Amino acid sequence: MDSAAQDFQPRTFSIKLWPPCEKTRLVLVERMMKNLSTESIFSKKYGLLGKEEAHENAKRIEEECFMSADEHFKQEPDGDGSSAVQLYAKETSKMMLEVLKRGPRTTVVAEAPEVDAPCQPADTVFDISGGKRAFIEADEAKVVLSQLSKPGSSYKRICFSNRSFGIGAANVAAPILESIKNQLTEVDISDFVAGRPEDEALDVMRIFSQALEGSVLRYLNISDNALGEKGVRAFSDLLRSQEKLEELYVMNDGISEEAAKALSELIPSTEKLKVLHFHNNMTGDQGAMSIAEMVKGSPNMESFRCSATRIGSDGGVALAEALETCTGLKKLDLRDNLFGVDAGIALSKTLPKLPDLVELYLSDLNLENKGTVAIASALKQSAPHLEVLELAGNEINAKAAPDLAVCLGAMQSLKKLTLAENELKDDGAVIIAKSLEDGHTNLKELDVSSNMLQRVGARCFAEAITNKAGFVKLNINGNFISDEGIDEVKRILKDGKNSLDVLGPLDENEPEGEPDDEEEEEDEDAEDDSDELDSKLQNLKVG
C-alpha cells in the first residue's frame, strides 16, 4: 500500500435532521388535512371534517408539535435531531387522533387578524387515547398521569378515552384532576370503563365525577360507556355543575327513557349548548320527550344528532317542535328512527325556521311519499345554503319525484345528495336527474343505489353529472341496469368532463333483474319503457 493510501483519512459527514425546512412542514400540513377530511372508520363514528376545518386543525397541530419538538431539540444541541423528529411525528399522530375522535365542530369563532392569533402552547392537550384499548391500573396511572400534576402545567383539554380505568387507577387520577379542574375546558372520558364489572365501572364514574365537580367545561364527552340510568346518575356531581357547556356527546351509552330523563334533570342549563350528539341509544318516544326539553332550552344549538335512537312518531313530533327554538342550526341528523309520516310533516313545519341549515340527514325514517313531499316543499324556499341532503330508505317512489325535483332545483349549493334504497325506478329517475342537470356546480356526490333503476334511469343520472367539474362519485349500484346500459353510462362519463373514476362499484347490480311493478301492469316490454321515457326526456322542465 502506497503512502498516499496510508495517509488517507475518511471525511466524516454530519447530517442534521432537525429542523425541517418550510416546504416539509407545508407538505405535512397538506397530508394531515387530507387524512382529517377523508372518510375513515373515525368519520363514520364521529363525523367527517370539512376541508376548511381540517386545514385549520392540521395547521394548528403542526405548529404546536413543531414548537414542542424544537424545544426538545434545544435541550440536546449536539444530537442529530432524530429524537426531535420522532417526537414531532408522535405528537402530530396523537393530536390528529384527538381531532378525528372529536368529530366536526360547528362552533363559530370570531374572525381576527391571523398575525394576532398566537399559537397555543404544546402542553394544553393531554391525551392517552392512542394505541390499542387497554386496562390501566394504579401503578401505570401514577406514571402516565404524573405529567398532569407537574407544577405550572397548563393543560386545558384532557382525553382518557380508550383506556379502561379500574378503581385503583381512578383513585390515582382523582386528586390530580381535582388539582387542575379549574383550568380544564374540555374533558373526554368516553370509553374509559370498557370491560369492567358494572359495580366497579359505576364507582369509577363517581370518582371522576366528584373530582371534576365544579369545573367550567365547554366540551364534555361521556360516550361509549354503557351508562344507562345508573351511569348517568353516577356522573351527577359533574353534570349538576355544568352551566356553560357548549358541546355534549352522549353516544352509544344505552340511554333509556329513564336515563334520558335523568340527563335532562341533572344538567342545570343548556342555554350555551351548540353541539348535542345523542347517537345510537335506546331512548324511545318517552326518552325523546326529555331530550326535546333539553333542545328547547338550547337556542344556540348548531349541531344536533339524534340518530339510531328508536324514536317513533310521538317522539319525532316532540323533537321537531323543540327544534323550532334552534334558529341557528347548521347540522341536523335524525337518521335511522321510526318517525313515520306524521313526524315528517311536523318536521316540515319546523324547517322553514332553520334558514342556516347546511347538512340534513333524514335517511331511514319511514317518511314515505307524503312525509317526503312535505319536507321537500318546506326546503325549496327555506334552505338556500344546504350542502348535504340524505333521504335514503324512505320508501320514496316516482309519485314524489316532481316535488322532490322542484326542491332540488332550488338547492344550488348542494354538494352531496343521497336517495339510495328507495323505489324511484326509471320514471322517478328521469324527473330527478333533469332537476340536477342545470347548475349545481358544487355537486360532488350522488347516491341513487338500490332504486330499481334500469338503463334509462342510469343514463339520465350519468348525463346529469358528467359535465360537472369536480364531481367525485356516482353510485348506481344495486339496480337492474343491463350490460348495454352500463356501457352507455361509461361512454357518457368518458365523453364528459369527468372520467370513469367517478363511477362507483357495480358488484351488486343485476343486469338481468327487473323491478316489481305492483301498481302498473301496462309496461310489459322493457324496450317500450325506454322509448316512452326517452320521449319524456325531450320536453321535461323542472319548475
pLDDT tens digits, 336-361: 999 999 999 999 999 999 999 999 99
Above 70 in pLDDT, residue 224? yes
Rounded to a whole number, what is the distance in angstroms from the first to the last CA of the chain?
94
In which residue are the cell numbers 398566537 written? 118
Chain-centre distance of CA 31, in angstroms? 20
Please give the grid coordinates belonging to residue 218. Answer: 365547554
Residues 6+ apart with CB under 8 A from 444: 415, 416, 470, 471, 472, 473
SS3 480: coil
Q: What is the CB neighbour count within 10 angstroms for residue 52?
A: 10
pLDDT-derived band of residue 45, with 50, 70 and 90 as boundaries? low
Which pLDDT band holds residue 282 (cuts at 50, 70, 90)? very high
Number of H helices, E strands in the chain: 20, 15
**Residue 99 near residue 61, CB atoms below 8 Å:** yes
Backbone angles phi, psi at 390, to 5 degrees: -120, 125
Distances (CA, A) of 280 to 253, 284, 383, 401: 8, 11, 27, 31
Residue 42: helix, strand or coil by DSSP? Answer: helix
Does residue 452 register a pLDDT over 70? yes
Mean pLDDT, the chain, integer:
86
pLDDT, position 437: 93
Query: Which of 180, 174, 135 minimizes the C-alpha distance to 153?
Result: 180
Cβ 128 vs Cβ 163: under 8 Å:
yes
Angle of CA points 28, 30, 33, to nearest 5°: 110
Question: In angstroms, what is the C-alpha Rg of the chain?
Answer: 28
Confidence grade of residue 514 (pLDDT, cut at 50, 70, 90): confident
- Neighbour tally for 226: CB within 10 Å: 16
**Cross-strand partners of 163:** 134
Cβ atoms of 490 and 466 closer than 8 Å: no
Comparison of pLDDT for 296 and 382, the residue scoring more: 296
CB 244 within 8 A of CB 216: yes
Residue 171 predicted with pLDDT over 50: yes
Answer whether residue 217 shows pLDDT above 60: yes
Rounded to 10 deg, the angle between the 51-74 and 22-36 helix axes is 140
Whether the Cβ atoms of residue 234 and residue 205 lie closer than 8 Å to each other: yes
Band of residue 61 on the pLDDT scale cut at 50, 70, 90: confident
Higher pLDDT, 453 or 70: 453
Residue 81's pLDDT is 75
Give residue 121's pLDDT.
Answer: 47
CA atoms of 139 and 302, how far apart (whole Å): 42
| CA dist 543 → 403, 404, 409, 499 (Å) | 9, 11, 8, 30
- The mean pLDDT value for 382-387 works out to 89
Return the number of other C-beta atoms located less than 10 Å from residue 147's C-beta.
13
Chain centroid, CA 259 distance in Å: 24
Residue 322: CB partners within 8 Å, gap ≥ 6? 292, 293, 295, 296
Strands (E), 90-132: 125-127
Backbone phi, then psi, for 356, in 5-degree steps? Answer: -95, 10
Which contiguous run of DSSP H or E holds residue 98?
helix 82-102
Q: What angle do CA 205, 210, 216 make, to 5 degrees?
A: 105
Alpha carbon distance 185, 202 (integer Å): 24
> In the predicted model, is pLDDT for residue 436 greater than 70?
yes
The more confidently predicted of residues 526 and 68 is 68
Is residue 432 predicted with pLDDT exceeding 60? yes
Nine-digit cell string for 528: 317500450
Cβ-in-10-Å burial (0-12, 13-18, 19+) of 342 comes to: middle
Residue 120's pLDDT is 46
527: confidence class by pLDDT, cuts 50, 70, 90: very low
Helix (H, G, I), strand (E, B) or coil at 126: strand
- Output the CA torsion sign for 48, 330, 157, 59: positive
User: What's residue 118's pLDDT?
Assistant: 37
